[in-house]
Amino acid sequence: MKKLLQSRNIPDFFARCADLASWEEYKEELKELFLTEEYGHLPKKLTPSIKAEEQGVNFAGKARWESVFFTFENNGKAHTVRAELILPKNKTKIPVFLYISFSGDVPNKYLPMEEILDNGFGVMTFDYQNVTSDDGDYSNGLYGLFSDNGQRCEFGKISLWSYMASICMDYLESRDEVDSDCVAVAGHSRLGKTAILTSILDNRFALTCSNESGCCGAAISRGKTDKNETIEDITRVFPWWFSEKYLKYVSNEDALPFDQHLLLAMVAPRPLMIGGAIEDVWADNEGQLLACKLASYAWSLYDKVGFVDSGSDTSIDGNVCFHIREGSHFMSRYDWNVYMKKFKQILGDKYEI
């Protein structure tokens, strides 16, 4: 552990956690720290009115597809977010991926819907930009419901995309044919960052799949090379993703009161999956793997195994899984198959196709 910490000059934040009780206490402090310093606090939870509409398309008769419309009202304004729920037909207790998507289309280039269905899983998904746009406009979508005349709120947009993921989880809990104890939250890149934040704030998710989330996701922030994305890079291009307070760590990573492995640690004791791609150097694969190894300490406090090195490019035997595939920044069928393999392993005897 010491060597791993030294490799990136990371303080031993776990030093104060000799046992589970001290970790649980620290975890609450950490949650607050990450929200205050990095992502911003999620706004108050609104209760949306919900309308569901059956869709005709049904994947060769294998699935039922419903569009679900969540209408939120606040401050005299209203906004509707549309989500899609696709469930294998004639099945009960369906395990589901809640996939936070770059698109409202199903399938789309990152979402091989039919393959997922054929593996026995359902999918709930929404287009993140239908929640609020991915830019510095704070007046639209759900963000606009909380903002005063388009002014920035304390929270960044990653927090709001997480907020919507939890709303979808509420809906999944209301559906009899869904096994709400078996819902995974999944996302790629900025939405992989969102998936981790969602999971630490909402422990109803049984599995967390964060694909190539990199900087401010699964990768350690300290000790980057000039080929990796830094806090300076990310906040210059995407300042709206984060709390404004995060700017004080630009070129000042050593001042961070945490590093990203502690974000991962808060997923414990539930299983966590981190995916990387060899050519995705920007995301810092070494930093993601290092975070997996360091975070594993939290699982050990629950008497669970964290990261288990398989000696290959796919390590999914422990509760902290890491895989790296050939190629570039993408959420591919290969990645989905790794996530589904683990999900089946977790389901054990419950898994049926």
Contacting residues toward ligand GTR, per CB under 6 A: 189-190, 214-215, 229, 234
> What distance in Å separates the CA atoms of residue 80 and residue 98, rounded to the nearest whole number?
18
- Which lies closer to ligand GTR via its Cβ, residue 187 or residue 223? 187
How many whole angstroms separate alpha carbon 232 and alpha carbon 229?
Answer: 8
In whole angstroms, the minimum distance from the beta carbon of 157 to ligand GTR comes to 12
Query: Which residue(s) pair with 147 in the sheet?
Result: none
Nearest to ligand GTR of 215, 290 (CB atom): 215
- How would you class 259 by CB atoms within 10 Å of its CB: exposed for 0-12, middle for 13-18, buried for 19 or more? buried
What's the closest the beta carbon of residue 212 comes to ligand GTR, in angstroms?
7
Q: Which is nearer to ligand GTR, 229 or 259 (CB)?
A: 229
Structure tokens belonging to residue 221? 């922030």
Q: Distance between CA 42 and CA 40 in Å, rounded? A: 7
Helices 20-34, 190-201: axis angle to 10 degrees equals: 130
Q: In this structure, are residues 168 and 97 in contact, taking their beta carbons and an 8 Å threshold?
A: no
- Least Å distance between CB 184 and ligand GTR? 19
Compare residues 282 and 351 and give the one whose CB is closer to ligand GTR: 282
Q: Give min distance, CB of 75 to ligand GTR, in A.
A: 30
Least Å distance between CB 215 and ligand GTR? 5
Q: What's at 326, amino acid-wise?
A: E
Environment class of 252 (CB within 10 Å of its CB; exposed 0-12, middle 13-18, buried 19+) = exposed
Q: Which residue, 229 or 253, is less far from ligand GTR as judged by CB? A: 229
How near is the Cβ of 154 to ligand GTR at its closest, in Å?
21
Nearer to ligand GTR, 114 or 137 (CB): 137
Tokens standing for residue 92: 């009960």
